[in-house]
Amino acid sequence: MTDAPLGATPGHDELPLPDYDHLPLESLQHRLRTLDLDGLAQVRAYEAAHANRPLVLQTIGHRADELRAGAEPSGGDPAASAPEAAPAAAGGSAVSGATTGPVNNPTSQGVPTNPGQPRGSGGGSTQSPVYGD
């Protein structure tokens, strides 16, 4: 693959792979398989002008060699949602009055029967000892 001429570097929004800059290398390798030679040339020019990662450029070069040798781009859609991107929330919370726990309003003056109040260290009562008996 030849280097793209100066000034021919595509912008981020012109790349055939959406969100290219945020794809992990493993995902990028799979996404590159969906591109034809023109798409690879765009990605290579962008990569060389920006991050210039040797492993990514090498991967693009190997894929271009495979395509020149007769390989076909895979049938995947490079614009499909990536598995590394979490799907959007379905909307709303599944929590309702029927699924919430009981209201816990601890008393302000440490009542021993209140389960929310701290207990002693296990060595006896939490009350002060009585002296002078």
Helix and strand numbers, DSSP H then E, in the chain: 3, 0
Question: Is 18 within a domain?
Answer: yes
Q: What is the pLDDT of residue 97?
A: 72
Q: State which residues of the chain have pLDDT below 50.
A: 1-6
pLDDT at site 44: 95
Assigned domain for 113 exists: no
| Burial degree of 130 (CB within 10 A; 0-12, 13-18, 19+) | exposed
**pLDDT at residue 2 in the model:** 45
pLDDT of residue 12: 82
Does residue 129 lie in a domain region? no
In the prediction, which pLDDT does 101 show? Answer: 73
- Residue 21: inside a domain, yes or no? yes
CA 121 to each of CA 118, 124, 125, 126: distance values in angstroms, whole numbers, following the listed order: 9, 8, 9, 8
Q: Are 84 and 78 in contact (CB under 8 A)?
A: no
Counted domains in the chain: 1
The pLDDT assigned to 109 comes to 64
